[in-house]
Structure 1
């Protein structure tokens, strides 16, 4: 329970704030995942042959790899551990740039969105901001092992000189540990802001995912349905939004699968909510790019006719 103190005529008056709000500040359909899940399974990008490339970045140990595994577990209806995870939360376990595709139920095709995982943002031993910028533009090839001293160079075998549309990132996702978000150093915040500016200049939509909410907030651990009633979580999200500039409606709290060995419909609901919005962002980006390309082509044609 939160408690604040206010001086009242020489005395101190305490006001207690319950940990849960009276009403949820965001609506979610708990446990009723079938229609939303089917929407994800039926999704097709507006351009045939294209997929949505989703780049995950954030501090070491935030849960980037676990989120990928959680999404695959949700879609394939059993636990999957395709992205390797380590229990050391303070050092990045991921050392390479990795692309993860999720097979559909037929085993022959893949979902039209892919995830990219990378080394975590650390003050001294983390991924270089310049390398993240190269991935946004599609210049980094899969399996590149990050060099902590220098960014990927043009003459490196893993440098993609002429990236295709499918090589480029369509959605940038910042993954944050709810336990440590308030302890992020100024250096990490500055790295995040630098990456966000690059994505903004490229027109890439950005969202954030708050992980480990059950570990950070006892009321959520007790009842996951109270996630959007948890007062302290909302305050943390609001402060984070102010610090890095990501709007509140682009921040999604989730609980990744970590110690479970069977699926949980409530966990799935939060993961599915975040995944659906990520796909919507990617779809909007592709449609906008498609529209702008048509306009550019039209204007060039007009110029040619008028010259």
Structure 2
């Protein structure tokens, strides 16, 4: 079986040479354990932060040890009374073709209710990030205007759709004409902006949302955040979910100071990680599942085939090569 290790701490944008493949014997489960075969692997921008040797909300990856992320795996052998052969489980697991686990922190998923890959996206941490970020921090209300950056990505597509479900005007920002068309035609966004063809983002947002922005769900950071703040309404809320434009920077970036805008317009700006709401995950999963079954939620996926493609799929996130959730099928 193959395992993927973190070989080097990336400098700037990660390279395939920062990862190493090793081979070993398939493990044998002990009492209380299950043997899991990896089926789907989630690659996510936040993993880049764990590749730095610095203190954060989660421990950094260690060099020459396996990388981990959200995974869907099948139980192929069980010595744990809670699980049987053929069960599908999801949770944080290592980038290995096979591994043993006690089942702690893992939950069963039903392949008959949704595709297995959906449990890494709209019914997984991705969907929960959108749901809790928008409802608990954004406090979005019917009739407001929502702006979403990284709108064609895994979280962004769900955020925009929830915004429409809640009766809001939704504007998305993405990087290609194809993605812009997808947002308006397939996901029901009221307007979308192609940042790669926009010289003045402040003006582009104003044109798309002439009455201003009430909630900005930020997946990008940097100049896009600056432009959103130039258009935000009084008592607006900024949900700081991610800053993918900055993850590969090698120097401390600088930008406009936002303090005067925050004070003058009584703005709330808050960062979060989805695990802040872990006790309420079941609520989110039930609501997202209901919307999915009712046809109110669509989920776009970019599925890459092959265990050996996991590092490149991760790297491709930083070039915007995904539409919706990027998943590797093993």
Give the structure with higher Rg (CA).
1
Whose helix fraction is larger, Structure 1's or Structure 2's?
1
Whose strand fraction is larger, Structure 1's or Structure 2's?
2
TM-score (norm 1): 0.30
TM-score (norm 2): 0.29
